[in-house]
Chains A and B, each alone.
Chain A
């Protein structure tokens, strides 16, 4: 019969349409958000969410413009982990990392600290190579993706620095793994005479 295929297709659309209401009613009486349900295999009904009131869950591995990790000292001083070894600047595909190495004013020898550190976030392609290849866990990818601004995003050292506790908050599993590896290394070092 002509039109059978059409009706078949429309029945799919209709059941979806109907479902979008029944699902809304179902969630009306639940207090927690349905965002989690969204990424499960059983999701049905309206698929879109009301950003920014509702937000999708950001997985741990999600990566956005990097930041520099510092450890908080006892008196609140910021001990930056970066040693200005330059590996991230060399690995960066669009070459958007600029680092000025500190040198000892007397001897002229390089010191393990960056004097200046810039990331041009407008050029950064969020590839994550800097975080992947940094040997000191000093640069990590962020979760903060809402960086729209009226000016260009040239991030300097001040703007890039974030505490280690923040890092542990956004990437708990990675942090735990790295801490363990560092502890192991330190133990091995201590064991050596």
Chain B
């Protein structure tokens, strides 16, 4: 069933240079700061320019929106990275606003609806007010939270120093527990002047419920009907973590839905800006904890680009091998958990886990840990794959996995109950998928052959022969089948990689715990198993990143969930959400 559903998308060669400054004189200027690139758009002209970028220049996919704080220049900046779904490099543009509250920037939700959650995040973290945004509320922090955590002058509880390494650790490192240093003796901090005795709580959820479609009471056949609100989660077995969805129901049909998140939020980005460059590598393992092998790759790519490091051949191959194994086990878990959601408890999930175990055994033997691999370094990987483990990989790739994937296919793909629950459910039109910045298998199941491994190749993916599986119905069944096909393609890549891998060094230069990263900005992105994973890093030449932002596929793919769910039954929401393939470590960061 595979052969008819693929597309041999060629990597586009882009030679055109775009001169936005000439097109919009006075409103767009090149970003001339050293190490920076892209265009600076006057905020008054932002909507006009971005509409032209989308419609005339064809950059239809908004990949990344984030804020940057420049207290010295008293500016807040918003950075946009847009791509073409036909492939090619990014177009970066930025806009700046004065750093006084309210700092206002026009919202781009009307141009790219995929900006919705990302703009809410920038509002939440930086206090940038997006005028015209349909539902600008806090997203990762709770309503009523004081301050904007990603601003440079925000200090969290237990703040000791701006940057690591902390001076109190050496040479006079007397251990003390953090809570002992807190005036309240507990892990909380109040804003100055706050008196718990005098505080009257307001309902923090009011704005959330107001954002939903309104209740309406009607008479149907002489009976009064009403819409009801259901809170699914945060503690709900089907959301695979602490994710919450507020759903308005008409009978069993979904009328409106809002995702609520942030329960696992720990402000990874703030921690990242305090860390040294290298210290961020193990932290990325905690993003999408199923794919820790893949997570640090775009970060390494970004920093290597700034440093101008060339990764040795063998390391490139090792990255591909580990990364593709990771993709296989990610999809396998998804299938297993999907069946859990559909009511087939744990039999398929445990079958999937068996293969995953074997892959994790290899990770453990090579990287030292099953899930928190901490394997990538700038300029390569930390350890070579030795003979014994290479043999294990070969055994898996040539013998066991192809056999087991077919078995899995036999177990699930044609099951009538399964098909009935999946076929035609959760439709998302290809236009909507692109507009909502959906990436990964969900986009490819909508008939758009967009895979960064081909569209904008990184590493050595341009050397391998593989297809980008595509399906056209854009329902749950197709999203499942695309992933099955994708596993087969992963095996193809792996088989070529283990045959071709050369001997040689696996790390460029000497291992260093303090790297020198020249000043500049960079955006590194890869096709992670769940979609596009990107790291936006700004270095000022110091030991720590000035800005460290992560564009995670789970977070941005959630934007389209309401679109997929409206009109379906509440029971299908569970499957639709499962198929978006979210993982909370990455969603909440």
Q: Which residues of A contact B (CB under 8 A)?
A: 2-6, 8-9, 11-13, 16, 39-43, 47, 59-63, 84, 86-87, 89-93, 95, 97-101, 110, 116, 118, 120, 125-129, 132-133, 141, 154
Contacts and interface: CB of A to CB of B under 8 A. Distances in A.
A59 B415 contact: no
Given A8-B415, A129-B513, A154-B175, 14 more contacts: A8-B410, A8-B411, A16-B351, A43-B354, A59-B361, A59-B364, A84-B171, A89-B165, A98-B173, A99-B169, A101-B171, A101-B172, A120-B175, A128-B368
A127 B410 contact: no
Of the listed residues B168, B173, B282, B400, the one surrounded by the most CB atoms of chain A closer than 10 A to its CB is: B173
A125 B374 CA distance: 10
Interface string B358-374: 10010011111100101
A60 B368 CA distance: 8
Contacts of A127: 281-282, 372, 374
A89 B44 CA distance: 49
Interface in B145-199: 164-166, 168-175
A122 to B, nearest CB: 10
Contacts of A62: 364-365, 368-369
Contact of A39 (B361, B383, B417): B361
B279 A133 contact: no
Contacts of A91: 165, 278-279, 513
B582 to A, nearest CB: 23
B399 interface: yes
Interface residues of B, number: 55
Contact of A41 (B367, B395, B407): B395
B414 A39 contact: no
Given A98-B173, A118-B175, A6 B416 contact: yes
B283 A5 contact: no
B279 A87 contact: no
B390 interface: no
* Top 7 A-B residue pairs of the complex, sorted by shortest distance between their CB atoms: A5-B414, A98-B173, A101-B171, A127-B282, A59-B365, A41-B395, A93-B279
Nearest to B166: A95
A1 to B, nearest CB: 10
B173 A89 contact: yes
Contacts of B412: 9
Given A13-B347, A13-B411, A16-B351, A129 B282 contact: yes
Given A5-B416, A6-B416, A41-B395, A110 B368 contact: no
Interface in B370-429: 372, 374, 382-383, 392, 395-396, 399-400, 407, 410-419
Given A5-B416, A5-B419, A98 B171 contact: no
Contacts of B278: 91, 129
B96 interface: no
B357 interface: yes
DSSP class of A's interface residues: helix, strand, loop or mixed?
mixed
A13 to B, nearest CB: 6
A82 B278 CA distance: 23
Contacts of A2: 416
B513 A12 contact: no
Given A47-B350, A59-B365, A41 B399 contact: yes
A84 to B, nearest CB: 7
B12 interface: no
A44 B220 CA distance: 58
A90 B513 contact: yes
A98 B365 CA distance: 30
Interface string B538-562: 0000000000000000000000000
Given A89-B165, A100-B173, A141 B368 contact: yes
9 contacts: A3-B416, A39-B358, A41-B399, A62-B364, A86-B169, A86-B170, A120-B175, A127-B282, A128-B374
A119 B164 CA distance: 17
Contacts of A116: 173-174
B204 interface: no
B461 to A, nearest CB: 26
Contacts of A92: 165, 169, 279
Contacts of A8: 410-411, 414-415
A84 B172 CA distance: 11
Contact of B282 (A42, A43, A93, A98): A93
A47 B354 contact: yes
B383 to A, nearest CB: 7
A61 B364 contact: yes
Nearest to B275: A93
Contact of A4 (B357, B411, B414, B511): B414
Name the residue in A6, A13, A95, A154 with the highest tally of chain B Cβ atoms < 10 Å from its Cβ.
Answer: A95
